[in-house]
Amino acid sequence: MAYTTFNRQINDQMKEPMFFGNPVNVSRYDQQKYGIFEKLIEKQLSFFWRPEEVDVSKDRIDYQNLPDHEKHIFISNLKYQTLLDSVQGRSPNVAFLPIVSLPELETWIETWAFSETIHSRSYTHIVRNISAEPHKVFDDIMLNEKILERAEDVTRYYDDLIDGINLYQRCGEGTHSINGETHSISLYELKRRLYLCVMSVNVLEAIRFYVSFACSFAFAERELMEGNAKIIRLIARDEALHLTGTQHMLNIMAAGDDDADMAKIAKECEEEAYAIFRKAAEQEKDWAEYLFKDGSMIGLNKDILCQYVEYITNSRMQAVGMKAIFSTTQNPIPWINTWLVSDNVQVAPQEAEISSYLVGQIDNEVDGGDFGDFDL
Amino acid sequence: MPGVKLSNGVVINFDGSARTLLDALERKQLEVNFHCREGYCGACRCKLVSGEVSYINEPLAFVRKGEFLPCCSVPVTDIEIEIP
């Protein structure tokens, strides 16, 4: 029940559930209950990039020449993404690490959250380059009502889960009186909070980033803010992988072989899961309206962006076994896909290397025949 | 040469000139959603009604029974598919 950083209980990790079994003791990967998480870790590591590698100096000139309503679109999206990655850089660690029971999943969570911290650092890199007063951009995040509205829904499920875990690990199941207040918690309720939290994270990574991604790529289609677009492509590549991670977690939970309670909970929470998707889609459509309040940009307007939100919402819902909720079946901005292709991602213009490129991959197999035409 | 039958009855021959099923579908001007084209995002997920495909590289995205990812697969037998 109480968390320990090195559980002394000798256990068979292959028999633990993903969450709420024994805390992980030995970080071992010679055996894996779910090999997919190890594969995701390897893929994420092969994606490693640093914001400083991308030259955004031309973006400063581009930004200064943008009309005010396009400056608003650009900078508001950066602020919103900063919020999202602030949350994602810490919350998977705080919420999931105290309850995870499989070493490969534990390490995936850490690898996932770490890559989000790179995204956060890249926003500072961009803002520093385009603005002489970066502090004004970041200070506004905590004051901007449109962003704060979204923050509430992005963080609520994490906070509910973390609060429940704290109580459970300190006091156990039951009703407890703490500082004169009564709190109840059961393991089943915690599992419910976990399911909803993973669902909400899935929605965050599946939908919430994409309005902003679309705007960044629409600028770059006009050969504007291309350094930024290059960074956003790298972020989008990471996010697609994270999304696959949460989709796997949700699908394993719903199948019930890992923990029978989770399958029951997945059924019980079905309506709430639909509501989470629907609300996120509505909020993103509102966001599109806020972005374009003073005017559209070439290639994108509020209606097109709203249709795109509906289109990706449908597709993300189907990926976790849910039914589509919008009638949109066509992607209104098919050009966005070419920006999301993995192997087109380049870090520096002179380095056109494939995403799965691994440093230090040398062929160690050498036999005598290789020296056949070698004379001394 | 395996045939790829679509839900509208059209049959495409997979003659090996396309690297993947997604490439083959696109050559016929069919619109399939895609992002990564590497099997880790799952955006191109389609229904496999009948037949068998094999993967050039094992997909990381979650693929349900009766689904497949055209971006990293080739047909082994004649197949019948549905593009969402």
Give the model's pLDDT for residue A160: 98
Which of A39, A318, A319 has the CB atom closest to B60's CB atom? A39
Give the model's pLDDT for residue A356: 47
Structure tokens at A174: 């039951």
Q: In chain A, what residues touch B63 (CB-CB under 8 Å)?
A: none
Q: What is the mean pLDDT of residues B5-20?
A: 91
B37-75 pLDDT, tens digit per residue, is 999 999 999 999 999 999 998 999 999 999 999 999 999
Q: In chain B, what residues touch A318 (CB-CB under 8 Å)?
A: 45, 84
Q: Does A315 touch chain B (CB under 8 A)?
A: yes
Give the model's pLDDT for residue A113: 97
ipTM associated with this complex: 0.93
CB atoms within 10 A of CB B65: 5
CA B42 to chain A, closest CA, distance in angstroms equals 8
CA A366 to chain B, closest CA, distance in angstroms equals 26
Q: Does A242 touch chain B (CB under 8 A)?
A: no
Give the model's pLDDT for residue A345: 53
Residue B18 burial (10 A CB sphere; 0-12, 13-18, 19+): middle
- A:B CB pairs within 8 Å: 63
Query: Which residues are A177's β-sheet partners?
Result: A182
Q: Does A344 touch chain B (CB under 8 A)?
A: no
Residue of A nearest to B45 (CA): A319
B8, amino acid identity:
N
B15, amino acid identity:
D
Contact across the interface for B37 and A342, Cβ inside 8 Å: yes
Q: What is the secondary structure of B5-64 as a DSSP string?
A: EETTS-EEE--SSSSSHHHHHHHTT-----S-SSSSS-TT-EEEEES-EEESS---S---
Q: Does B64 touch chain A (CB under 8 A)?
A: yes
Give the model's pLDDT for residue A352: 41
Give the model's pLDDT for residue A354: 44
Q: Does A39 touch chain B (CB under 8 A)?
A: yes
Burial A120-145, CB ≥16 within 10 A → b, else e:
bebbebbbebbbeebeebeeebeebe
Q: Does B40 touch chain A (CB under 8 A)?
A: yes
Which of A248, A321, A342 has the CB atom closest to B38's CB atom? A342
Q: What is the DSSP secondary structure assignment for residue A321, as one 8-state letter?
A: T
Kindly list the structural domains of chain B, giving each domain's residue range(s) and its CATH number in brackets, ordered by start: 3-82 (3.10.20.30)
Q: Does B38 touch chain A (CB under 8 A)?
A: yes
Give the model's pLDDT for residue A351: 47
Which residue in this structure is represented by tokens 């350094």?
A227
* Catalytically annotated residues of A: 123
**Residue of B22, B40, B46 to mutate for A, most A C-beta atoms under 10 A:** B40
Task: For chain A, list residues with pLDDT below 50.
Answer: 346, 348-358
Residue of B nearest to A255 (CA): B64
